[in-house]
């Protein structure tokens, strides 16, 4: 037990110390690539404003905190969700997690974007000429989580990121690492979690679309095809620290309060707050708020989040239905639907 405590404390210190890599946004705001990694998934987590590092469990934890994949009573856990994102973009997500005995739990996830058809244009035809293309953005993740003790869990995600825009594309790998410590300071229901997301090498676009016909500056060789070298870009790394507290009012009613501090490498720091009411572990009401103090109000796209959920057990088969509503400035509101199954 003493060894486990030393390991868990060391992991917490390591993840907290890693925050030195994150200098906030400032002049670098909006300069990262691979931003599809930042688009959240799962109706419960979004309904709570993304403040669920400590409270999301099983397959629902893959995106938010891989350390909690093993914190589930289900041997097999499956979820699928759809989000109507901004600018008529659809975000599809599916994942499953399963226990593998004493080794822990493993999971597999897929997130894809339905951006729709975009009219192809050229310098000679800026208004298009009847041809279209559809960008493809996909993230495939492999996850692992393990309970080190009844209080401490750790986990990791390995995400393959692929982006294709017409005839150019980029791909790479991003890593997430998380640790969760429950009953912190021997306070029943108090949980702390630390997660680092989207660590990885730079990505760079390549493909035939980067060839262009031009004439050398000397003018001696006439027009030839040259390949433009696209600039490489870093991934949008994130450090998150979360606290959560679950309060059982009585045998049927419970409240869960959660908060997360997010230090973004290419955006301003954020504070996420959430509260969830649970009735008989059957019906849930949720609310969340996203605070970005460094931004003016007109620069904030999201702030208020709402959601509801229903868990229903049918002969040992656990069915979950979740919905989230995300208020959005400048765009239509986001609606997120999710269905889960536990065995």
Q: What is the mean pLDDT of residues 169-192?
A: 96
Residue 289's pLDDT band (cuts 50, 70, 90): very high
Task: Examine the pLDDT at 24 and tell me if it is beyond 90.
Answer: no
Q: What is the pLDDT of residue 12?
A: 55
Q: Say how far apart CA 245 and CA 174 lie, in whole Å.
A: 30
Higher pLDDT, 8 or 324: 324
What would the pLDDT profile of 114-169 be if each residue is shown by its tens digit?
999 999 887 788 888 888 999 999 999 999 999 999 999 999 999 999 999 999 99
This prediction has a pTM of 0.89
More confident site: 282 or 303: 282
Residue 18 has pLDDT above 70, yes or no: no
pLDDT digits (tens, 9 = 90+) for 202-258: 999 999 889 888 877 766 777 788 888 999 999 999 999 999 999 999 999 999 999
Inform me whether the pLDDT recorded for 2 exceeds 60. Answer: no
User: Shortest CA distance to 112 belongs to which of 163, 75, 157, 179?
Assistant: 163
Domain that holds residue 261: 2-124+131-342
The model's pLDDT over 76-105, given as tens digits with 9 standing for 90+, comes to 999 999 999 988 899 999 999 999 999 999
| pLDDT (0 to 100) of residue 248 | 94
Question: Cα–Cα distances in Å, from 52 out to 74, 87, 197, 202, 216?
Answer: 19, 26, 14, 28, 56
The answer, yes or no, to whether residue 26 has pLDDT greater than 70, is no
Residues pairing with 246 in the sheet: 256
Confidence (pLDDT) at 294: 82
CB 16 within 8 A of CB 22: no
Res. 337 pLDDT band, cuts 50 70 90? very high
Read off φ and ψ for residue 20, nearest 5 degrees: -65, -20
Per-residue pLDDT, 212: 84
Output the average pLDDT for the chain: 89
Q: In terms of DSSP H, where are the helices of the chain?
A: 2-17, 43-47, 61-64
Residue 265: name the closest of 243, 239, 244 by CA.
Answer: 239
Higher pLDDT, 310 or 26: 310
Residue 16 has pLDDT above 80, yes or no: no
pLDDT at 6 (0 to 100)? 54
Tell me the mean pLDDT in the region 159-188. 95
Has residue 72 got a pLDDT over 70? yes
Beta bridge partners of 138: 112, 162
- Average pLDDT for residues 3-11, to the nearest whole number? 54
Task: In whole angstroms, give the CA distance from residue 112 to residue 39.
Answer: 11
Number of independent structural domains in the chain: 1
The CATH number assigned to the domain holding 155 equals 2.40.160.40
């Amino acid at each position: 037990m003493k060894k486990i405590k030393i390991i868990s404390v060391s992991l917490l210190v390591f993840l907290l110390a890693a925050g030195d890599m994150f200098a906030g946004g400032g002049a670098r705001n909006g300069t990262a690539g691979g931003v599809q990694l930042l688009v959240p998934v799962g109706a419960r987590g979004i309904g709570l404003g993304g403040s669920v590092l400590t409270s999301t469990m099983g397959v629902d934890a893959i995106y938010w905190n891989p350390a909690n994949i093993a914190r589930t009573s289900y041997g097999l856990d499956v979820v699928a969700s759809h989000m109507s994102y901004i600018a008529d973009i659809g975000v599809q997500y599916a994942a499953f997690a399963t226990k593998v005995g004493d080794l822990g739990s493993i999971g597999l996830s897929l997130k894809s974007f339905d951006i729709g058809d975009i009219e192809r244009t050229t310098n000679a035809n800026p208004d298009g000429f009847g041809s279209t293309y559809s960008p493809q953005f996909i993230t495939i993740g492999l996850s692992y989580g393990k309970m080190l003790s009844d209080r401490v869990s750790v986990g990791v995600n390995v995400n393959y990121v692929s982006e294709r825009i017409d005839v150019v594309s980029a791909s790479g790998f991003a890593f997430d690492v998380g640790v969760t410590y429950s009953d912190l300071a021997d306070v029943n229901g108090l949980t702390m979690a630390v997660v680092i997301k989207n660590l990885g090498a730079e990505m760079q676009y390549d493909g035939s679309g980067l060839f262009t016909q031009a004439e050398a500056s000397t003018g001696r060789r006439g027009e030839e095809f040259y390949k433009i070298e696209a600039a490489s870009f870093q991934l949008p790394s994130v450090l998150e620290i979360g606290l959560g507290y679950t309060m059982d009012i009585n045998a049927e009613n419970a409240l869960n309060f959660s908060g997360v501090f997010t230090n973004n490498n290419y955006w301003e720091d954020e504070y996420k707050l959430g509260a969830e009411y649970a009735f008989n572990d059957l019906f849930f009401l949720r609310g969340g708020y996203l605070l970005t103090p460094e931004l003016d109000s007109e620069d904030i796209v999201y702030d208020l989040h709402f959601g509801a959920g229903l868990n229903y057990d049918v002969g040992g088969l656990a069915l979950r239905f979740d919905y989230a509503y995300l208020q959005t400035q400048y765009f239509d509101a986001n609606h997120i639907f999710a269905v889960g199954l536990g065995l």
